[in-house]
């Protein structure tokens, strides 16, 4: 059974640019969550999609957005990149029901210069 | 708002020692609690999931307990090995699809 796949693995962007990250869930998983991990802030919840609808949202500015497709794959977009957006972005998927465990991908390391 | 705290932030032990990692949370209305390990630059690997109705879960040398009333969970690692060196995080799920993470405990097991 294939795991959670995140692409690309690494990204280097310039301040002001925009970026799109992708997450393919485990087969049968309908929920996709996104997290930002930085040394100073730890793991911060961005948002969660379930059946193509945003179901939960964290406290990030509107520059961070996402979507989910009918095959449950999800993309996250960050516009007008800032230096502080440099982080490891992790995607977690689950069946989406209350008690289902999270499964993480290996993340996308974004560096903004 | 759910807050999750992990103590200690870092721990160094000699190989073979048994150890306990702690996780505390402020809102006891949880669905489940999950323990993960993270190796440097990698994603999180799920270790154990405890449902809100359970008291503990075991997998090999790992045992996790949950006390909802006191807002605490512990992860017990028996006979630690250098390969156990990693950061251990706990995540509390209070809403389907949203988990709150602690900052983790970085464990170093010395040969």
Q: Note the pLDDT tens digit of each residue in B5-52.
A: 999 999 999 999 999 999 999 998 888 999 999 998 889 999 999 999
- How confident is the model over B91-107, as pLDDT tens digits? 998 876 688 999 999 99
Largest CA-CA distance found in chain A, in angstroms, rounded = 40
**Closest Cβ–Cβ partner in B41, B91, B97 for A55:** B97
Residues of B (32-61) whose Cβ lies below 8 Å from A: 32, 34, 36, 41-46, 49, 51
Decide if B54 contacts B70 (C-beta within 8 A): no
Interface contact flag, A48 B32, Cβ < 8 Å: no
- How confident is the model over B55-93, as pLDDT tens digits? 999 999 999 999 999 999 999 999 999 999 999 999 998
Decide if A72 contacts A23 (C-beta within 8 A): no
H helix runs in B1-111, sequence order: none
The CA-atom distances, in angstroms, between B77 and each of A7, A12, A80, B10, B97 are 33, 38, 44, 15, 28
> What is the phi/psi pair of residue A83, to 5°?
-55, -35
**Closest Cβ–Cβ partner in A42, A96, A102 for B46:** A102
CA atoms of B23 and B76, how far apart (whole Å):
11
With beta carbons under 8 A apart, name residues in chain A contacting B43. Answer: 4, 6, 90, 104-107
State both tokens at A102.
């999270």
The CA-atom distances, in angstroms, between A41 and each of A17, A86, A87, B101 are 23, 12, 10, 11
Decide if B72 contacts B49 (C-beta within 8 A): no
């Amino acid at each position: 059974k294939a795991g959670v796949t995140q692409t690309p693995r690494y990204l280097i962007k310039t301040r002001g640019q925009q970026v799109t990250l992708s997450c393919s869930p485990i087969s049968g998983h309908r929920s996709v969550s996104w997290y930002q991990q930085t040394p100073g802030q730890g793991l911060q919840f961005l948002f969660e999609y379930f059946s193509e609808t945003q179901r939960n949202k964290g406290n990030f500015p509107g520059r961070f957005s996402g979507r989910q497709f009918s095959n449950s794959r999800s993309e996250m977009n960050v516009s007008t990149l800032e230096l502080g957006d440099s982080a490891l972005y992790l995607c977690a998927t689950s069946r989406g029901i209350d008690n289902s465990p999270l499964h993480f991908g290996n993340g996308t390391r974004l560096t903004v210069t | 708002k759910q807050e999750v705290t992990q103590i200690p932030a870092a721990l160094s032990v000699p190989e073979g020692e048994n150890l306990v990692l702690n996780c505390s949370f402020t809102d006891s209305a949880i669905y489940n609690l999950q323990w993960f390990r993270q190796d440097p630059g990698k994603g999180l690997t799920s270790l154990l999931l405890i449902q809100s109705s359970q008291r503990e879960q075991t997998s090999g040398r790992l045992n996790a307990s949950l006390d909802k009333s006191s807002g605490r969970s512990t992860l017990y690692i028996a006979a630690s090995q250098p390969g156990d060196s990693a950061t251990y995080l706990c995540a509390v799920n209070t809403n389907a699809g949203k988990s709150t993470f602690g900052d983790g405990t970085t464990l170093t097991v010395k040969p």
